[in-house]
Structure formats: structure tokens, C-alpha cells
Amino acid sequence: MHGSELHKMWATLGEWIPVGEALPKGGDCYLVYRRDDGHEVAIFGAASKSFLDIGSLSKIGDVTHWQPLPDPPKLAREDD
């Protein structure tokens, strides 16, 4: 997929919430948009009130917007 196709796909997932308007309650993973690095999935740390890298748990800077991840796909049951 090319960058423009990815951008269109991300745009259809949900509404972006500016970090200046609201922050998540914490404990879950979120899709975030970083000013210079684009999209990534991060954890929100309620205690630090910041987004954290999933692998290192270090703070992620320059997050401008966030949104909850979409629901997982519905898979066919194996016993059908």
C-alpha cells in the first residue's frame, strides 16, 4: 500500500480527538498521530498522562491527535 492509500484507510477508522481537547482514561492501546512520524499504536499512561511506546514504554512526544482502536474483526467459529 502506498502512503496516500494508507492515509485514506486510517481516516476511515474513526474521529481524531485533539490532545488539547481530551485525553484517554488510560490502560488501553490507541491509534495516535505524531506531527513528524505519522500514525502508530501506543498505550496511554494514566499516571504520566502521556502516550507510551508499546515496546519500550517510553514516552512518545509530538502526539497531536488520538482515537480508540477499532473493534477486532469477527472471525468464523471453528465448529461451524
Split at pLDDT 50, 70, 90, the class of 1 is very low
For the entire predicted model, the pTM comes to 0.73
Structural domain containing residue 39: 3-68
Please indicate, yes or no, if residue 78 is contained in any of the structural domains: no
Element (H or E) spanning 68, and its range?
A: strand 63-68
Return the higher-pLDDT residue of 72 and 51.
Answer: 51
Residue 26 is predicted with a pLDDT of 77
How large is the average pLDDT for residues 54-74? 92
Return the higher-pLDDT residue of 56 and 78.
Answer: 56
Query: 6-48: per-residue pLDDT in tens?
Result: 555 555 567 899 999 999 987 799 999 998 888 999 999 999 9
d(CA 26, CA 32): 13
Q: Domain total for the chain?
A: 1
Please indicate, yes or no, if residue 52 is contained in any of the structural domains: yes
